[in-house]
Amino acid sequence: MPLDDPRPEATGASSVAPPDALLELVDELNARMRHHSATDVIRLALKEITPIRLVSSFGAESVALLHLAAMVDRDIPVIFIDTEMLFTETLVYQQEVAERLGLRNLRILRSLEADQKDPDRTLHRSNPDACCALRKTAPLQAALNGSNGWFTGRKRFQSGTRAQLEFFEVEAETGRIKVNPLAYWTPQDVADYIDENRLPRHPLVARGFPSIGCAPCTSPVREGEDIRAGRWRNTEKDECGIHFVNGKMVRTGEIK
């Protein structure tokens, strides 16, 4: 499949096996980028997958991908989902980073139904999957309507479900291509990049939060624990929704 062939239209329909041509395209992109840098992956994605967006939580490590992308193109549409359950520190940090990096196309989105469906903001206690679907996944899918792909900051080291992550993968239920330029980065790579570029750190990192999501569902991590141990602690949940990748159902979709 030539790289300039149009991607399937993103419909948001329920999951089906992705077309072979799309899987072949993703395999080809991964093969081409096997020995290339995150910046090369971003450049190739911007050329071959249009329109494309970048989704960021402005969390603990987000500034690395945002900086890499801004160095290539400050006009990349950057989507920030404000679940209205975030730490105040995240909201302040989001503004600081956007200003520092000169992001020119930042879009902040919130659920249109949260007030009606979760008026007392307690859904996260009784049904966190439903809460994530309402406050994260639905606004995200709306934000991605009309796009053929999106960048995420997910990395292989972050958890078992991400251990096989590639630079490019198919999101079967939408036909979009998910691009993970930092898939092969280690925690040290991220820390070095942030330090060497003197980028601002999320203030909660210094207070024991190596992974930062919504305030009610994020706790500090103790020494020796997995970096995501503080997310939905004492539950089996470790990602924000059920998604389909390359035709297989996995818990994924976390945005970094």
Instruction: Report the nearest approach of ligand SF4 to the CB of residue 159 (Å).
Output: 15
CA distance 141 to 133: 10
The answer to whether residue 203 forms part of the interface with ligand SF4 (CB under 6 A) is: no
Given the residues 132, 214, 217, 240, the one annotated as active site: 240
CA distance 28 to 22: 10
Tokens representing residue 13 in the block: 């329909």
Instruction: Report the nearest approach of ligand SF4 to the CB of residue 85 (Å).
Output: 4
The answer to whether residue 230 forms part of the interface with ligand SF4 (CB under 6 A) is: no
The answer to whether residue 128 forms part of the interface with ligand SF4 (CB under 6 A) is: yes
Q: Parallel, antiparallel, or unpaired: how do β-strands 106-109 and 78-81 relate?
A: parallel
The answer to whether residue 85 forms part of the interface with ligand SF4 (CB under 6 A) is: yes
The answer to whether residue 243 forms part of the interface with ligand SF4 (CB under 6 A) is: no
The answer to whether residue 114 forms part of the interface with ligand SF4 (CB under 6 A) is: no
CA angle 250, 172, 31 (to 5 degrees): 90
CA dihedral 112, 152, 149, 156 (to 10 degrees): -130
DSSP 85-141: -B-HHHHHHHHHHHHHHT-S-EEEE--SSHHHHSTTS-HHHH-HHHHHIIIIIHHHH
Peptide bond into 51 cis (omega under 30): yes
Nearer to ligand SF4, 136 or 155 (CB): 136
Contact residue for ligand SF4 among 216, 219, 226, 250 (CB under 6 A): 216
Is residue 97 within 8 Å of residue 63, measured between CB atoms? yes
Q: Is 214 a catalytic residue?
A: no
Contact residue for ligand SF4 among 60, 103, 132, 170 (CB under 6 A): 132
The answer to whether residue 83 forms part of the interface with ligand SF4 (CB under 6 A) is: yes
The answer to whether residue 214 forms part of the interface with ligand SF4 (CB under 6 A) is: yes
Catalytic center residues: 240
- Interaction site with ligand SF4 (CB under 6 A): 83, 85, 124, 128, 131-132, 135-136, 213-214, 216-217, 240
